[in-house]
Chains A and B, each alone.
Chain A
Amino acid sequence: MQAPSSISGLNLSGLNLLALAHQSAAGAPTWVHDLKRDEAVRFQETGFPSLHDEDWKYTDVSPIRSVPIKPVLQDPPNAALQLVAARLQELGIAAPRVVFVNGRFVPTLSDTDGLPDRVRLSPFSEPSGQSWVFAERNFGRLSSGDPSPFAALNTGLFVDGAVLYFGNGAAVEEPIHVVFASIETPGPAAAYPRLLILMGHAAEGTVAETYLSLGRASTFANAVTEVHLQEGAILSHCRFVAAGEAGLHVGATEALLNADSSYRSLQLQNGGRLVRADLNVTFGGEAAECVLNGAYVGSGTQHLDNHTRIDHAVPHCTSRQLYKGMVADSATAVFNGKIVVRPGAQKTDAVQTNKNLLLSTRATVDAKPQLEILADDVRCTHGAASGPPNDDALFYLRSRGLDAEEAIGLLAYGFAADVVRAGATGSLRLLADTLLKDAVSAAVKSAIPV
Chain B
Amino acid sequence: MLEIRNLHASIDGKEILKGIDLTVGEGEVHAVMGPNGSGKSTLAQVLAGHPAYAVTAGDVTYQGMNLLDLAPEDRAREGLFLAFQYPVEIPGVSLAYFLKAGLNAQRKHRGQEELDAMEFLELLRTKQTLLDFDQTMLQRSLNEGFSGGEKKRAEILQMAVLEPALAILDETDSGLDIDSLRTVADAVEQLRAPDRSTIIVTHYQRILNYITPDYVHVLIGGRIVRSGGSDLAHQLEARGYDWVRDEVAAGGRPEVTR
Which residues of chain A have a CB within 8 Å of any CB of chain B? 390-393, 395-404, 406-407, 410-411, 413-418, 421, 449-450
Contact = CB atoms under 8 A, between A and B. Distances in A.
Given A395-B51, A398-B71, A413 B76 contact: no
Given A395-B51, A396-B84, A410-B98, A401 B92 contact: no
A406 B105 contact: yes
B24 interface: no
Main secondary structure of the interface of A (DSSP, over half): helix
B101 A406 contact: yes
A111 B64 CA distance: 65
B91 interface: yes
Interface of B: 48-52, 71-73, 75-77, 81-82, 84, 87-93, 97-106, 109, 117, 141, 158, 162
Nearest to B105: A401
B104 A449 contact: yes
B94 to A, nearest CB: 9
Given A400-B158, A410-B101, A418 B109 contact: no
A403 B49 CA distance: 13
A91 B162 CA distance: 34
A220 B101 CA distance: 38
Contacts of A415: 91-92
Main secondary structure of the interface of B (DSSP, over half): helix
Contacts of A401: 73, 76-77, 102-103, 105-106, 109, 162
Contacts, number: 93
23 contacts: A391-B51, A392-B88, A393-B89, A396-B88, A396-B90, A398-B71, A399-B72, A400-B98, A400-B162, A401-B106, A403-B71, A406-B105, A410-B90, A410-B98, A410-B101, A414-B91, A414-B93, A415-B91, A421-B92, A449-B100, A449-B101, A449-B105, A450-B117
A400 B71 contact: no
A417 B84 contact: no
B68 to A, nearest CB: 15
Contacts of B49: 395, 398-399
A391 B71 CA distance: 14
Given A397-B98, A414-B90, A449-B105, 6 more contacts: A395-B50, A399-B75, A400-B99, A401-B77, A407-B73, A449-B104
Pairs A-B, 4 closest by C-beta atoms: A414-B92, A417-B92, A400-B102, A449-B101
B102 A402 contact: yes
A429 B84 CA distance: 33
Nearest to A407: B73
A416 B77 CA distance: 28
A414 B92 CA distance: 4
Contact of B90 (A391, A399, A411): A411
A413 B88 contact: no
A296 to B, nearest CB: 16
B92 A396 contact: no
A104 B99 CA distance: 46
A411 B92 CA distance: 8
Contacts of A421: 92
B88 A393 contact: yes
Given A406-B105, A410-B101, A449-B105, A400 B91 contact: no
A410 B102 CA distance: 11
B162 A418 contact: no
A395 B72 contact: yes
Contacts of B84: 396, 399
A418 B73 contact: no
B76 A400 contact: yes
Contacts of B72: 395, 398-399
B73 A404 contact: yes
A115 B109 CA distance: 51
